[in-house]
Structure formats: structure tokens, C-alpha cells
Amino acid sequence: MHPALDPDQLENLGDLDVRPATPEESADPRLMHAANRVAWDQAAEDYERRLAGSVERLRAGRSSLLPVELALIGDLHGTVDHAVHVQCAGGEDTLSLWLAGARRVTGIDFSPRMLDLARQLSTALDAPATWVEADVLDLPHALDGTADLVYYGRGSIMWVQDLVAWAAGLARLPRPGGRLVLFEGHPAEWLFDGDGEGGWLLTEYDYFAGPEASRGWSPAYIERLSLPDDEQAWKFARAWTLGEVVTALLGSGLRVETVTEHPVDWYGGHRDVHPAERGRVPLSFSVTATRP
């Protein structure tokens, strides 16, 4: 099972190609990131279709962040001059940090097509936002020590192929005393799926598997693109274990303050599982840290 796909929608994958990454691919994180950049440029077509709705929601003051994320971030009014969002995609979550009170925001992503959407979004809202094109493994040193808050949000870490470089980059961005807030899907979530009767069953997913390559998207994740699936770029995703993520952050020089597992359904899947049953499984996790 692919870690980037909604388990409840696997029957809708059709002819989606999924395979383990080859040893040569696995040995070259930047090769995999370059492929992901092309794939996400293609997937931006789906975000383009939703741009008007994003403008309408943000203009009405409706955040795209989940309540658990807003609780972790807190009220930013008067406390956060500059918030940086890494792997910002189309910028809706980035601008939600502005709604939460950050005076100015910066979004970083490797997809120029996604960043063009983010610019359109911030222009429509007249928001104080800067958009930077960069891979998460090569974050610009011009932003070192500039952030009161670094936000790293759901659905991002599965696309990262080098956790040491990832953590080192995140650790450079906060000012001394600045915070990192990370909220992500729990890697153990992919071990479970609905049994069709409101409960859970164990999947065949390997918690310790490495990167997988796929071509095409689940319609539950990205709506059908105009480019046929077999002409789309290969992309690489993986579910890092919770231990791997926390160990990388501990080694980055950040002071990890909390690691919390949540029964929060971060992407709206598992609709066929009873709410009480969903509360028995860690579906997401968060990490908060500061720069000494």
C-alpha cells in the first residue's frame, strides 16, 4: 500500500503504477526529489481548479488548518513577526498562519507552478507573503535565523527522502528562541484500514518499508489530471517511522519539547470506521521544538 494514498480509496486506484524504488533510486535522494518536483508541478492542475474556493475561504477568515494545528500554533498576534512554512504547496496553509496573527509569512516549495498559485492567492488577499522556490533539502541560507515560527504541516514528510538534511534545514530557520511546530499523519496509520463494518483490520503495509515509486494519483488525493497517468512523472514517497523523525530532529540541534500522538484523522479518510474506533489508533502526531 502506498503511504501517500487514502486506504479507504484503494479500490479506485485503477491502473495506478506502484513499485518499490530501485536500489539506485533509493541511494539518490535528490534524484527522487527532482522527480517529485515534476510530479507536483503536474498535480498543481488540481490546485488551480480550487483557487477561487481558496480565495473565498481565506477572505472570509476561514483557516485551512485543523483545530489541533491551531492549538499547537496558538494565537500569533503580537508574538510572531515572521512565520515560515516549509513545503507550502499552493499557499493556503501558509496564509492561514497570517490569519492566525503572523505579521508576515514566507512559503517555501520546490514547485514553481504551485508557487505561482500561492502568489495569485496572496495577491488576491493583499497578504504580506513572500514565496521562495527551493527544495526542502536545500533551504536558502538567507532565511537562517529569521523565523519566530517554522510550521511544517500534514502530508509533507512522506515526500522527503533524506531526514538528516531535512532536519538540519528546519533547524537553521528559527531565530534563537523561535519555535518549530510539526503536525503530520502518523506512520503507523497505514498499518490499519476499515473492515467494512466500522472496525479496523491489519493491512499488508510494511511499517519499515523504504521509498515507493508511483505514477498517477488516487482521485481521493488529486483529482484526475488532463495528462494521462502513464505520461505522468514517477514520484517517490515513504512513511518514515516516528522514531526516525524524532531522532533526526534531536540530532539537528533543536530542543525538542513535546512529541504527541493524536487520534485525529488528518486527511478525512477512514470514513467507514466508527468514531470511537478511530479514537483507538494514532492517526497523527505532532512535535514542538525551539532553537536554543
Q: What is the pLDDT of residues 72-83, one digit of tens each?
A: 999 999 999 999
> Which residues, listed in sequence order, are joined to residue 192 by a DSSP beta bridge?
202
Q: In angstroms, rounded to a whole number, what is the distance separating the alpha carbons of residues 152 and 85?
A: 6
User: Cα–Cα–Cα angle for 121, 143, 247, nearest 5°?
Assistant: 100
Q: Please determine, for residue 9, whether its predicted confidence score (pLDDT) is greater than 50.
A: no
209 closest CA partner among 240, 233, 236: 240
Mean pLDDT over the full length of the chain: 93
Which architecture characterizes domain 32-199+239-290 according to CATH?
3-Layer(aba) Sandwich (3.40)
pLDDT digits (tens, 9 = 90+) for 108-145: 999 999 999 999 999 999 999 999 999 999 999 999 99
The C-alpha cell that represents 226 in the structure block: 488532463
Dihedral sign of CA atoms 82, 83, 85, 86 in order: positive
Quick one: average pLDDT of 56-65?
Answer: 98
C-alpha cell recorded at residue 169: 534545514
